[in-house]
Amino acid sequence: MKLTDMNEVGFFEGTEKLLEIWFENDFDGNDSDLRNIPRRELDGLLEIVNAEIVSTTRNEHIDSYVLSESSMFISKDRFIIKTCGITKLLNAVQPIIKLAKHYGRMNKVHNFFYSRRIYLRPDEQVGVHKSFRDEVKYLNKIIPDGSAYVLGQQESEQWYLFTMDNASKGIEKDDVTLEILMSDLDEEAMTHFSKMKYETSEEVVMNTGISRIIPGALNDGILFDPIGYSLNGLHKESYYTIHVTPQPMCSYVSFETNIRKKNYSQLVNRVLSVFKPGSFIITLFSNKNAPCGIATQALERVCATGYECDDQHHKLLKNYSLSYAHFVKKV
Amino acid sequence: MKLTDMNEVGFFEGTEKLLEIWFENDFDGNDSDLRNIPRRELDGLLEIVNAEIVSTTRNEHIDSYVLSESSMFISKDRFIIKTCGITKLLNAVQPIIKLAKHYGRMNKVHNFFYSRRIYLRPDEQVGVHKSFRDEVKYLNKIIPDGSAYVLGQQESEQWYLFTMDNASKGIEKDDVTLEILMSDLDEEAMTHFSKMKYETSEEVVMNTGISRIIPGALNDGILFDPIGYSLNGLHKESYYTIHVTPQPMCSYVSFETNIRKKNYSQLVNRVLSVFKPGSFIITLFSNKNAPCGIATQALERVCATGYECDDQHHKLLKNYSLSYAHFVKKV
């Protein structure tokens, strides 16, 4: 296929649904580990969601999976799954809880986060995913002590969260999640994420500047045919993941990591210099033990060169602080 | 009337609607001044809204009116009117624009702000005031280049704004508006705002600590029978206004001022020490020439002793920055 215009590929909903569940163990013994869930069960789980595993790698802390639609990271007590398109991610919640109990010997949900940006085309979503209200109604039945939050003023830039944080005793170790959700990306920068330009993910990593974002990471990426790109990276206990939808009509790039840093300015600017968005949202979760301190102040210290922040929202949860900021290119 | 319980007075919607319109003059000559609008026209204007003037005072910069339901401040080029209860404030917009042109010789709306907190009982409001959506629809017809904003995450604590700021060239002089909207007030503190306790507004000002909020102000207040209190104060080019609904079932106190300060911490704490709210919202508008700098940073510097901020929202408008913060008493 030869593309003269990347828009020929058509519309794709790059916006991901993100589920992060922390488990704990009331059973006797020390053999509890979510990574004991067998591969055939993970394949079955993803079938329910409408995604499949396309590549996998691991280190001693995390099993990493690149999916046909985004990513999955499994560690001892944390299950992360992120899917884009019109996948039905919430159908996986109850099966994950069952698998965690049966194979992982983790019988208790310790913390729960479901979040997403507003979709570009909500009407094309399936079932409860058409509206956040319905997603919350569905989740309330499974996680009765959850709370829903809407952050961001402008409707087209809103970000939704459902969490049980207010009801639980929190995660003791330091924990951070940083997301950069980028829109209206530079068309020239997007041409890199295409089979017309490169053969392999390694070429993409080396030629775009992705290799400099978190140096020394163990990378596992897929360059889709004809366009589109997904990458998972592992670095000790940290993961990062990048997903690129390059079509100008719906261009979208997400970056997510749990890497602990005192100051995220340099990391954010390295990401922006690769993808060159017209606008983006940053969301930052941090708990009290995180090296960056509370999210409000951590985000305050982020200076995104060439951009200005036109909307910020900070929310103090029981054990976490949460910050949302929307940036636009300076004119 | 002897009250054993202030709730006997019944429910009152203390939540105000606030309108601030800045005008400019394309006419020849220098005789333009909104204070030239005659009193009989102001009385007629307030009849449309369902309020009336109960007391008035002035200095060289501002004419101040205490209304049966809140306050009005008129200066050369700025018209502020704030009304509570089930008043129909938006009915006044077109008449004010006409009066400004005819008597004030100000033919152009230079900037426009309409804001309010969410009502305690929206269904009891009249006409377009039942919903912010309808208010915006109504205002869009009069102010075609306006934008609507919703700040605050929790539905019961939301704050609404309609402004033409994004479309206009802004107010050149330094300008700030600070509001503190207090709920769930200390019942003991509220007993001061009653005819059972004091005869006059002066006694209230002296005995509650209000006199220390902005020392040296020219005060004009009304103590309602049996309970309730309104105060307007003038200090050079600054005004402040306080409205108290003491009934425990719907207790609400608002404080508003345009006083210019580098740091609002002391002022905020003086207000809190008088009224002792269980929770409150601060909203701060500032333009680029304001001594406190951009509202985000100005609000960041506010340390409200005994309270914690659980929700902050910052919005950069074209010529103004706007900050919202929700505080609750520390447990």
List B13, B20, B179, B256, catalytic entry = B13
CA atoms within 13 A on the CB side of B222: 19
Those residues of chain B that have pLDDT short of 70 are 1-2, 29, 165-171
Residue in B closest to A318 by C-alpha = B310
Residue A328 has pLDDT above 70, yes or no: yes
Q: What is the pLDDT of residues A130-145, one digit of tens each?
A: 999 999 999 999 998 8
Lowest mean pLDDT among A139-153, A256-270, A309-323, B168-182: B168-182
The helix, strand and coil proportions of chain A, stated in percent and rounded to the nearest 5, come to 25, 35, 35
pLDDT at A319: 83
Of B296, B310, B315, Cβ closest to residue A153: B315
Mean pLDDT over A300-307 rounds to 93
- From chain B residues 143-182, the ones with a CB under 8 A of any chain A CB are 149-151, 153
The reply to whether B230 belongs to the active site is yes
Residue A107 has pLDDT above 70, yes or no: yes
Q: B313 and A308: CB-CB below 8 Å? A: no
Mean pLDDT, chain A, integer: 93
For an interface test with A, which of B315, B321, B328, B329 has the most A Cβ atoms less than 10 Å from its Cβ? Answer: B315
The residue to which tokens 């103090």 are assigned: A316
CA distance A30 to chain B (A): 38
Alpha helices in B65-198 (DSSP H): 93-102, 132-142, 187-190
Closest-CA residue to A74 (of A35, A100, A45, A104)? A35
Query: Would you state the structure tokens that stand for residue B251, as one six-digit string?
Result: 């207790």
List B20, B32, B69, B84, catalytic entry = B84
Report chain B's C-alpha Rg in angstroms: 19
Closest-CA residue to A100 (of A67, A83, A73, A77)? A77
Whole-number Cα distances in Å, A131 to A125, A134, A212, A278: 9, 5, 37, 26
The reply to whether A16 belongs to the active site is yes
pLDDT at A157: 87
Bond into A226 cis (ω within 30): yes
Q: Does an H or E element contain B309, and which? A: strand B307-316
CA distance A207 to chain B (A): 36
Residue in B closest to A151 by C-alpha = B153
Closest-CA residue to A73 (of A164, A177, A163)? A177
- From chain B residues 303-322, the ones with a CB under 8 A of any chain A CB are 308-316
pLDDT band at A166 (very low <50, low <70, confident <90, very high): low
Closest-CA residue to A322 (of A187, A171, A163)? A163
Distance, CA of B256 to CA of B181 (rounded, Å): 9
Query: Would you state the structure tokens that stand for residue A53, as one six-digit string?
Result: 């595993």
For an interface test with B, which of A302, A313, A326 has the most B Cβ atoms less than 10 Å from its Cβ? Answer: A313
Residues in A closer than 8 angstroms to B315, CB to CB, are 153, 310-312
Q: A314 and B313: CB-CB below 8 Å? A: yes
List B110, B243, B313, B326, catalytic entry = B243
Kindly provide the ipTM of the predicted complex, given to two decimals: 0.75
Q: What is the pLDDT of residues A57-78, one digit of tens each?
A: 999 999 999 999 999 999 999 9
Residue A191's SS3 state is coil
pLDDT at A18: 98
Q: A311 and B312: CB-CB below 8 Å? A: no
Query: Would you state the structure tokens that stand for residue B26, as one six-digit string?
Result: 């394309």
Closest-CA residue to A187 (of A251, A137, A266)? A251
List A64, A183, A230, A286, catalytic entry = A230
Query: Would you state the structure tokens that stand for residue A85, as one six-digit string?
Result: 């398109």
Q: B20, exposed or middle or buried, with CB in 10 Å at 0-12, 13-18, 19+?
A: buried
CATH code for the part of the protein at B3-329: 3.60.90.10
CA distance B84 to chain A (A): 26
Of B151, B300, B308, Cβ closest to residue A153: B151
Q: What is the pLDDT of residues A207-240, one digit of tens each?
A: 999 999 999 999 999 999 999 999 999 999 999 9
pLDDT at B27: 73
CB B182 within 8 A of CB B275: yes
The reply to whether B286 belongs to the active site is no
pLDDT at B254: 98
List B32, B68, B70, B194, catalytic entry = B70
The reply to whether A70 belongs to the active site is yes
CB count within 10 Å of CB B236 equals 14
pLDDT at B170: 59
Q: A312 and B296: CB-CB below 8 Å? A: yes
The reply to whether A238 belongs to the active site is no
Residues in A closer than 8 angstroms to B314, CB to CB, are 309, 311-313
pLDDT at A230: 97
pLDDT at B165: 64
Mean pLDDT over A300-325 rounds to 91
Residues in B closer than 8 angstroms to A313, CB to CB, are 153, 311-314
The reply to whether B303 belongs to the active site is no
pLDDT at A169: 64
Residue B258 DSSP one-character state: -
